[in-house]
């Protein structure tokens, strides 16, 4: 069975923002959660489908790839950890609304002190028209944080360890009660001593000054697929910022920019170019060389070719990004009228015009016949 559109699954349009997507997900997740529908296989499958859609649309990078390439851009087969409820990260009913509980001090310490994925990075990279058409292997250099080699990311001087914060006892939070006219409320704030980390470093690493990370320039291999265009996004998994407390590394998203070509223009997978020809070539026909992405190709135009006529070279365009077929190459011929004529040339053209007469110019004759019909002149 083909997969349904993720926007359709959540009941939102493609212009929906992050808040609207999250709101729609919460509503549907509450309706179909297994805790509310015990032993209901249909609801279970629906819940999996909702989770899968939200996992993609709530992630900016995945959403961009999905908008551009559909299911193929995000794996196409539901990959992303939705093999079971525990695998998807939604074990209990309250997990769906965990961020709501956080506002009242519930569960935030657990999240803050647990493993966290590193930040994703975006890198804009400019390539040539030909590289976009046929793909290329590149090496790029990015500047990012990496775990300190001296302390291996702990931030503590080698031979020493972090200590549990005595103020918050490792939770990263300080709770205090506050009486109000509505009753007693428990407020939660970040620990001032450890700044929410739950640990303190008594002897910081001299290399990273206790940060556990340092900035480095790193060379990364980039394989650009054939058929990309300006705005295409290439994800590089695990090439972003390092995770926190053992969390996974973030991803790097390469945003492609294509330099304009001096001759070619692109329309989807088709290539268009204009070639000037002389009046004599247009009138008598001629064979001339056409530049294409594959090199020079000889092409013969018939006699009487009009300015603006477009010819097609099938299969000489840009390869499909999806891996099958190529676009076409369109050649638009433009008859170039000479601007500087000597007296002899002018006289020859006048003689030519006298010999040709008006009847041979069919389009011109038809046009002025229409003018007479409309304006009576």
Round to whole Å and give the CA distance between 32 and 51: 11
Residue reference for tokens 């030909």: 130
Round to whole Å and give the CA distance between 342 and 328: 41
Round to whole Å and give the CA distance between 47 and 29: 6
Round to whole Å and give the CA distance between 53 and 61: 14
What number of other Cβ atoms are within 10 A of residue 51's Cβ? 25
What number of other Cβ atoms are within 10 A of residue 333's Cβ? 22
Which string of b and e fits 306-318 if b means at least 16 CB within 10 Å? eeebebebeebbb
On whether the CB atoms of residues 16 and 7 are closer than 8 A, the answer is yes
On whether the CB atoms of residues 317 and 328 are closer than 8 A, the answer is yes
Q: 151 among the known binding-site residues?
A: yes
Which residues are CB-neighbours of 127 under 8 A, at least 6 positions away?
136, 138, 224, 228, 256, 257, 258, 259
Q: 273 among the known binding-site residues?
A: no
Which candidate, 326, 135, 325, places its Cα nearest to that of 234? 135
What number of other Cβ atoms are within 10 A of residue 194's Cβ? 22
Round to whole Å and give the CA distance between 122 and 139: 16
Output the six-digit token pair for 134: 């046929």
Q: Measured between alpha carbons, how far is residue 224 from residues 235, 252, 262, 300 in Å?
A: 11, 14, 22, 35
On whether the CB atoms of residues 10 and 50 are closer than 8 A, the answer is yes
Which candidate, 104, 108, 15, 2, places its Cα nearest to that of 57? 15
Output the six-digit token pair for 151: 């302390």
Q: 191 among the known binding-site residues?
A: yes
Angle at 120 between CA 116 and CA 121, to 5 degrees: 150
Which candidate, 116, 143, 137, 127, places its Cα nearest to that of 240? 143
Binding residue positions for Zn(2+): 148, 151, 165, 168, 191, 194, 205, 208
Binding residue positions: 148, 151, 165, 168, 191, 194, 205, 208
């Amino acid at each position: 069975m083909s997969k349904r559109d993720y926007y359709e699954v959540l009941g939102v349009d493609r212009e929906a923002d992050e808040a609207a997507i999250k709101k729609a997900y919460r509503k549907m997740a509450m309706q179909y959660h297994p805790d509310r529908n015990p032993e209901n296989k249909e609801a279970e499958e629906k819940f999996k489908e909702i989770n899968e859609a939200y996992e993609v649309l709530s992630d900016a990078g995945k959403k961009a790839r999905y908008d551009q390439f559909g299911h193929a851009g995000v794996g196409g087969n539901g990959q992303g950890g939705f093999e079971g409820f525990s695998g998807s990260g939604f074990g209990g009913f309250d997990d769906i609304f965990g961020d709501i509980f956080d506002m009242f001090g519930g569960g935030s310490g657990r999240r803050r002190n647990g493993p966290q994925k590193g930040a994703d990075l975006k890198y804009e990279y400019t390539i040539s028209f030909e590289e976009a058409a046929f793909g290329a292997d590149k090496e790029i250099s990015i500047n990012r944080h990496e775990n300190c080699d001296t302390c291996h990311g702990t931030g503590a001087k080698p031979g020493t360890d972090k200590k549990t914060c005595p103020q918050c006892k490792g939770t990263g939070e300080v709770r205090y009660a506050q009486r109000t006219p509505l009753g007693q409320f428990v407020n939660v704030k970040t620990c001032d001593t450890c700044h929410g980390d739950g640990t303190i470093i008594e002897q910081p690493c001299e290399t990273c000054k206790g940060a556990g990370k340092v900035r480095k320039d790193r060379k990364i291999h980039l394989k650009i697929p054939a058929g990309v265009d300006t705005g295409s996004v290439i994800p590089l998994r695990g090439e972003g910022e390092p995770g926190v407390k053992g969390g996974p590394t973030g991803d790097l998203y390469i945003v492609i920019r294509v330099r304009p070509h001096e001759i070619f223009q692109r329309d989807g997978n088709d290539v268009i170019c204009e070639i000037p020809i002389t009046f004599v070539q247009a009138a008598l026909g001629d064979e001339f060389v056409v530049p294409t992405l594959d090199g020079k190709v000889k092409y013969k135009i018939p006699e009487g070719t009009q300015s603006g006529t477009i010819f097609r070279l099938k299969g000489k365009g840009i390869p499909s990004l999806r891996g099958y077929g190529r676009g076409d190459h369109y050649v638009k011929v433009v008859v170039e009228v000479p601007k500087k004529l000597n007296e002899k040339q002018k006289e020859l053209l006048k003689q030519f015009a006298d010999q040709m007469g008006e009847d041979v110019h069919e389009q011109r004759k038809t046009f002025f016949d229409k003018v007479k019909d409309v304006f009576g002149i």
